[in-house]
Chains A and B, each alone.
Chain A
């Protein structure tokens, strides 16, 4: 098999354009130099790929800060991008009909996209501040989140989506199928390069607006090149000079402008304080606001620490009750969310060694710079060791044993934090405890209310802890607290007062009356009964029910109507779902076998389910790695790049294959086999997870695991990518003869599949069904398309015969 690499692409383009009259020849000004214009077109398509990817990653980052991101809002943002990108490419397919001039439109939209990026970043910050009915400091409800996502990433997505079918049309050649596949491959190369540049170079070094303005300059340069490549050959010097001067001017302007624009934009987002620090670490955005000498540290837009006056009431309450639950908490481990108060209050007890793990080293730097006495004391205490590493990974590798393990103050709203509340994690904690050791965690709560999602969330984690520990205790409060141990937990007001006396800490906030109120037996009994009686499934690494309920709890404050809609859906009688399902089967049958475009529909459907599978591979590789190793932020780019590189390689090989094998039956057979392989790789993910888990104890397990996961992402990407050119080659008329329309249709299907996969898998299937069942479901779906392709091949055979 001949491999096609990146270096071969220009030659492919050139060789195609030599075959005869092209669409471009009809639709655009005659190029002065064919090879020069081909190179410019190639660069422009690469830019479409890289600019789109950087723009997408950039906007996701900006919107995560604006929305104070959890996976639900992340899902909405990604869904919005894919949906609008899909709609754009469909529209682009329509615009790219052979009888239209696409060149000018392409150039115009390329510029518009690059101009839109900085504009929507400012818009996102403005919408996130106190505008359109929101007040400063108020979180956006679901409606606002959708609206903002549409107005920002949606708008850029649609512009970018139109560009792809147009770029397919721009490539020379009289084989539309080749044009489409080629444009797809070049875009993938651009996207891989874009994601690598963003993740490894730009993300932590440059602000959102400077990146977007830099992209604007790059677009200006490429557009100038593109225009020059088709301009009058007689005066190249002047044209180049004009281009160079305008690009330089743009560069200088953006250099000076970016900082001011960034400051202005962020002051719209955070009007409630003066921004004194804004850092993008590999793990998230860290900002510090100052108001009246009080510094508030925001992590991804959410206040996490206030200095010099932390929330003493709740921090001391959590720290002291945790410490009081153990007769002698000599060795303590605090996992994240603890600097700036919690750790200080724990150290007020006779703790000999306190180990604190913090995933984000940049946060430690920011806190050190604040020069707050509380944090300085925490940093300099001889009793404390700070470990800048994921807490779970630390626990896995550490040989140390602890009397008290305190899970820091984090919400169970993201998959990243949910990892600290699963059965697997609790087992890990139990194995690192000394006899009589206690684990403490804090959960959303209320002294007056424990119902609905709140009760379900508390019940889920309480019961998960009960699977691992023999004794579990709930302490209700404004934040509920769960204590778990294999020995009976002695925490009543009398014992707590005695331990306080013993430690010389009795008095102040912790009086007998306060303890009697906080540890009131009646309330503890009532609330414990609720969490024991509420039926809940355990929270597991690969079935994160806690995360799902955490999102639900967020929804109960921000989208109560959406929760009502869910409950209405649940109340629909089962038979109606049966009817809807059969109706869907009927409609599918019509579209896949009876409609005039049945063949095209079958291929489109296959590509869309491959989109689902490709997204599933991505999501699962990330989730598995995150669950086991924690640190995925840098690796996200690596896995995505590996997957896209696989797509490129698979696509390039398949494209070469379609050129060599003129026989459509052979192509159809190959498409079918690839589909079966994708289905098998879906179920093959389970052994991979097992293997990754087994590797955790080995030296270099992080490296080995990442390599294995990247290799898996590469292979699955290659399988998915290879299907695209094959489906393109099999497309019947009238799509066959119009590159733009075909590209629009298949690309839209691919994106919509990705969208459905991303949203459904992350937010519903995975948390509710768990990994194994989700994979099985996807396997069945992919098997169904394999059967469809088999039937399609038979029909082709029959037609040929």
Chain B
């Protein structure tokens, strides 16, 4: 075969292929577009991502990309986001690190406004939040994505996806959510599941509306928010659970792709503001359980935030990308608790170990059990007007 034969062969093949290629499109044309079967196709591994750079979704009165707050315009349609510690520089058509704020022709927009992907009633204890209306439920609200990339994230299905990848998102205005909370007879709404900072505008508006309608507001955050947006938000937030993931910059950098200092600043700001604060420390064996590090963390909490901030040491179980790390030994958690108590913290509990004595809360004065908890169940509250029924000592928290 010479070169001419080869070219002829390739040409004939391509022509034949072109003709054949028309057949399926012809057949498909006959069949129609096939309805919405794509949406519910089960035997596929598809996660349905959409490209961030697609044109703006329609701005209906409900689901819309509203203009983001806390950003500055830069050169060539770029913007600087000032909402969280990442302080992203976002060029036109791109999204920030959190995936939720995109630059549309020089305007930073929030893509998750009015689009909760999860709305559910859950026990307040699940947050965990121990000194806030014990034994009640709250309406929990989450969207998608996060500004951290924790490899042990329990809620990774939502937090490590963009809102476009969550197809079954709902459309709820702040007013809708407040109505749902009222109809489910819960005393509070909680911004949780994924990091609420990345749906800041939505959280803010829901919080304002909820407060106006007599509901309490809680946020569960990683603390990576900048100080100005935090200050503005705290005016409408009653209580916050903040994850202090480790007292180590290295841990934050290597395991969460984040930084420790902004979290510490957030904790101080919440405390100074007078918003009720509780701290969660998920203990990962071999990563953040060094006694010296725990002691240093507890010392910092006592000196900077005071001894009355409840601290929860939670047991880790394998999840997301850390499925081969062993669960935290219970004795490690107990050692952490002992250190915290030695450092003078008043309310230190152990979480994710149902039935453990330190699941409950104790009076720092007389050591009597003031709230008896087993996992999310509260079976006994020994408080009267916020005071220990045994010794009368006032226990800080929001009790009614």
Contact = CB atoms under 8 A, between A and B. Distances in A.
Interface of A: 68, 135-139, 141, 271-273, 289, 291-294, 296, 298, 301-303, 306, 309, 311-314, 316, 446-456, 459-460, 478, 507-511, 513-514, 517, 520, 523, 530, 533-537, 545, 548-549, 552, 555-558, 560, 563-564, 566-567, 570, 573-576, 578-579, 581-583, 585-586, 589-590, 594-595, 768
B123 A517 contact: yes
B72 interface: no
A582 B21 CA distance: 10
Contacts of A573: 25
B42 A570 contact: no
A552 B17 CA distance: 33
Contacts of A567: 44-49
Contacts of B118: 447-449
Interface string B1-43: 1000110011011101110111111001000000001001111
B42 A535 contact: yes
B71 interface: no
Contacts of B302: none
20 contacts: A138-B321, A272-B285, A273-B286, A292-B331, A294-B330, A312-B354, A446-B157, A446-B158, A448-B193, A460-B42, A517-B121, A548-B43, A557-B156, A564-B49, A566-B45, A573-B25, A578-B17, A578-B23, A579-B20, A583-B13
Given A138-B325, A311-B327, A564-B47, A578 B167 contact: no
A228 B163 CA distance: 71
Nearest to A562: B45
Given A507-B379, A557-B320, A289 B326 contact: yes
Contact of B332 (A135, A292, A574, A589): A292
A456 B330 contact: no
Given A136-B287, A583-B14, A590 B6 contact: yes
A585 B14 CA distance: 11
A448 B117 contact: yes
Interface of B: 1, 5-6, 9-10, 12-14, 16-18, 20-25, 28, 37, 40-49, 117-118, 120-123, 135, 137, 142, 151, 154-158, 160, 165-168, 193, 254-255, 284-287, 317-318, 320-332, 335, 352-355, 374-379
A137 B42 contact: no
Contacts of A291: 285-286, 326, 329, 332
A39 B355 CA distance: 71
A446 B155 contact: yes
A774 to B, nearest CB: 16
A522 to B, nearest CB: 8
Contacts of A460: 42-43
A578 to B, nearest CB: 5
A456 B21 CA distance: 31
A548 B379 CA distance: 44
Contacts of B123: 513-514, 517
B44 A456 contact: yes
A273 B285 contact: yes
Given A534-B42, A535-B41, A535-B42, A520 B48 contact: no
Contacts of A579: 14, 17-18, 20-21
Given A138-B322, A139-B324, A294-B327, A555 B121 contact: no
A507 B373 CA distance: 11
Contact of B1 (A298, A453, A555, A595): A595
Contacts of A513: 123, 135, 137, 376-378
A273 B317 CA distance: 15
A291 B335 CA distance: 13
Nearest to B325: A137
A32 B47 CA distance: 68
A109 B17 CA distance: 48
Enumerate the 9 nearest inter-chain pairs by beta-carbon distance, A residue then B residue, closest first: A137-B325, A294-B329, A575-B21, A586-B13, A536-B42, A582-B17, A448-B118, A552-B45, A296-B326
Given A293-B331, A536-B43, A578 B21 contact: yes
Contact of A534 (B9, B40, B166): B40
A312 B48 contact: no
B128 to A, nearest CB: 13
A306 B166 contact: no
A291 B289 CA distance: 12
Contacts of A450: 168
Nearest to B23: A578
Contacts of B47: 452-453, 556, 560, 563-564, 567
A452 B49 CA distance: 10
B318 A303 contact: yes
A448 B116 CA distance: 11
B324 A555 contact: no
B117 A449 contact: yes
Nearest to B286: A272
A537 B325 contact: no
B286 A535 contact: no
A548 B43 CA distance: 9
Given A520-B121, A590-B1, 7 more contacts: A68-B323, A313-B352, A449-B118, A452-B46, A509-B377, A513-B376, A513-B377
A478 B153 CA distance: 13
Given A449-B117, A509-B374, A309 B330 contact: yes
A303 B353 contact: no
